[in-house]
Homo-oligomer: A and B are copies of this chain.
Amino acid sequence: MGFDIEGYLTRNKELVDGKLLELLPKAAGAKTRLQESMLYSIEAGGKRLRPVLAIAAGEAVGGGVELTLPVACAVEMVHTYSLIHDDLPAMDDDSLRRGLPTNHSVYGEAVAILAGDALLTEAFIVITEFGVKSGLTSSQAAAIVGDIARATGSRGMVGGQALDLALEGADTGVEEVEEMHIMKTAALIEAAVVSGGRAGGADEKQIESMRKYARALGLAFQIIDDVLDIEGGSEIGKERGADARKKKATYPAAAGLEGAKRRAAQLTDEAVECLRGFDERALPLREIACYLGGRKY
């Protein structure tokens, strides 16, 4: 019998969902509107792909979930903050996300901006407080804070979002689109895998292999997202063709639909290849790459 990837994803998603709700600050007594708004977007979460990758990376080096779960939750908080800010009127101006009204559509722009700010900040509390209580060494916690912050600052995710906005409507080449996708999407996926691996006890050589795996996987993931935006597909939670209407720089626009599919398949193979030096405990990491690479399109 093969590996039950869907069962693995579901089981770990539920673990993450439960822990996220436990970690989010609930003021004694009355919850504030800000905290409601943070919870709203966390509860509207999707497959929890990034945290599950963090858990799988820890498993690949024998690290138990008690060590990787805080990191996994922190990464999902950072991801959720980025979605809230990306959806704002001044950015992508989206009113729906995963089929639900976006945060600012429900709570207003001011609260949505602050909810994003607070979720980003909370991620670093989770790592240094809950993470250390759960068994991370201070040295691991400090390194993981650095991994996640570097991946999501001006040289990573936030820089990628700025580039994305700047490229709207421009005639963009393949290299520029790849650079933007690597910063905007792959960097956080890389941070999830690397920090999960680090929490699980990976050595520097293993971390470097995981980094390459995650970068290839993250880029493939975003290219496939671009393809799904054109061809539709099961449950992307937004209207088909939204990228084209917004004149977004996408991989298919730069390289054609077939070129995009070929590139995604090549990157998925590359990702799996990066795991050659790991033993059977890396099976979930391998299977996740194949599963994501094979998303229906």
Chain A interface residue count, CB cutoff 8 Å, equals 50
Name the interface residues of A1-35: CB closer than 8 Å to any CB of B. 25, 27, 32-35
Q: Contact partner of A33 among B88, B90, B162, CB < 8 A? A: B162
Given the complex of chains A and B, what is the CA–CA distance between A147 and B163 in angstroms?
32
Assembly of this chain: how many copies? 2
Interface class of chain A by DSSP: helix
B162 with A145: CB separation less than 8 A? no
Q: Which residue of B lies closest to A132 (CB)?
A: B142
Contacting residues, chain B, for A292 (C-beta < 8 A): none
Choose the segment among A149-157, A209-217, A265-273 that binds chain B (4+ C-beta atoms closer than 8 Å): A149-157
Contacting residues, chain B, for A108 (C-beta < 8 A): 90
Choose the segment among A117-125, A193-201, A221-229, A276-284 that binds chain B (4+ C-beta atoms closer than 8 Å): A117-125
Given the complex of chains A and B, what is the CA–CA distance between A157 and B166 in angstroms?
31
Given the complex of chains A and B, what is the CA–CA distance between A142 and B90 in angstroms?
34
Given the complex of chains A and B, what is the CA–CA distance between A128 and B120 in angstroms?
16
Choose the segment among A55-63, A94-102, A133-141, A251-259 that binds chain B (4+ C-beta atoms closer than 8 Å): A133-141
Contacting residues, chain B, for A41 (C-beta < 8 A): none
A128 with B142: CB separation less than 8 A? yes
Given the complex of chains A and B, what is the CA–CA distance between A159 and B113 in angstroms?
12
B146 with A125: CB separation less than 8 A? yes
Q: Which residue of B lies closest to A159 (CB)?
A: B34
Name the interface residues of A163-193: CB closer than 8 Å to any CB of B. 163, 165-166
Known A138-B141, A141-B142, A153-B25: A162·B128 in contact at CB below 8 Å: no
Q: Which residue of B lies closest to A120 (CB)?
A: B120
- What's the least CB distance linking A45 to chain B, in Å? 18
List the 7 shortest-distance A-B pairs measured between CB atoms, nearest first.
A90-B109, A121-B153, A138-B139, A128-B146, A118-B154, A34-B162, A124-B149
9 additional A-B residue pairs with CB within 8 Å, beyond A132-B142, A138-B139, A145-B145: A38-B154, A88-B113, A90-B108, A90-B109, A116-B117, A124-B145, A128-B142, A141-B142, A141-B145
